[in-house]
Amino acid sequence: MIKKYTLKNGKVRYQFQIYIGTDDSTQKQMRTTRRGFKTKKEAELALARLKLQVNNGEYRKERADTFKEVYELWLPQYENTVEQSTFVKTVSLFEHHILPNIGGYKIKKITIDRCQKAVNDWAEKIKNISKVKAYTSRVFNFAIKRDYIQKNPFDIVEVPRKKNKQPDETDEKNFYTREQLIEFLSCLENETNVKAHVFFRLLAFSGMRKGEAFALTWNDIRFNTNEIRINKAISRGQANKLYVKTTKTNEARSIKMDEKTMDVLKKWKKKQKDEYFKLGFDTSEPTQLVFSNKENELLQPNKTRDWIIYVQEKYHLMRVTTHGLRHTHCSLLFEAGATLKEVQDRLGHSDIKTTMNIYTHVTDKAQEQAIQKFSSYIDL
């Protein structure tokens, strides 16, 4: 029977399931599923061909002896459940780490000890070992559903606990103080790259992620209420191509902005119109990107690295990454008296622990103020 289903992107596909015989070893009935047909007619033709092969004894059932072969059966089904960028990262994880380690082993012969060794190996090379373990486990669970194995050996293995590392001082200091930020933005204003100045000011005064800023369109900027809607971000998909997806937390948010930054954006909109008109583009559409390249397409993410390093080296400024401007915004929010919940909402963290874990540091000035308040209160 042909069934219709809908992909995450809204596209309709068709699938069917068919009886293909009895397993000689288990005497269980075997069925196979075929998915991904673009039309019902296409699915019907494939079903008819498969029925003919089964009836004539010509059907050769899918072989999945090794872990890699099971993974290859699991992958198309997984692809329909996640964002394109997530799928690409998952494939990379398997190709570079998981498959080279256990891909060639027969799925039935992979022991708990072999899995534990794999996890131990990964722990020495990979930062997020739990994610690797979870994805590997999903393939084993898929094998259980297909009756290739009875138990998942990854349910037993343990993730080695890493020794506590001394925090990297450069990571902790990847943000500007108020005075350093003012100097950084002043230096940018002296340059001819207006786009870079607007971009970095926006990040420093909004706290939005770089990918969110790259995906902004002018209909996200509400000049009448001094608000910016953040509901999308850029990411990399298959063939390393950039595309726009929903935000990291899959939730849209609107943030209030200061009048000066909104005025900077307003002036940039006018300048963009003039500059891109000379390049042959009409930027008056509401869906026009706020920041685009000379072809009026998505900017490459590494572009901002070139911008920020150029200014920092030319004016001998402290080195802070583009993401460090998000840290800067957060630190200055805390310094200005914002609550943890206010910062969480503004930065778009789905879990307040993220806000606490990443941004528990405060600036030196805030620490000085804290001890001064304490000293004044005790008065000894």
- SS3 label, residue 236: strand
pLDDT in tens, 92-105: 999 999 999 999 99
Where in the chain are the domains?
1-61, 64-161, 170-373
Q: Say how many C-beta atoms besides its own lie within 10 A of residue 260's C-beta.
A: 10
Q: Which long-range contacts (CB under 8 A, 24 or more apart) does 16-20 make?
A: 16/43, 16/46, 16/47, 18/47, 18/50, 18/51, 18/54, 19/54, 20/50, 20/54, 20/59, 20/61
Q: Which DSSP symbol is given to 238? A: G
Q: Which two tokens stand for residue 174?
A: 């990847």
Mean pLDDT calculated for residue range 361-377: 63
64-161 homologous superfamily: Tyrosine recombinase, N-terminal domain (1.10.150.130)
Write down the mean pLDDT value for the chain: 87
Statement: residue 189 has pLDDT above 90 = yes
More confident residue, 374 or 267: 267
At residue 168, the pLDDT reads 44
At residue 94, the pLDDT reads 96
Mean pLDDT calculated for residue range 358-369: 60
The domain made up of 170-373 has a fold known as hpI Integrase; Chain A (1.10.443)
Alpha-helical segments (H) within the chain: 40-55, 67-79, 84-93, 99-102, 112-125, 129-145, 169-172, 178-189, 194-206, 210-215, 259-278, 303-314, 324-335, 340-347, 352-359, 364-378
Closest CA relative to residue 347, chosen from 176, 153, 204 = 204
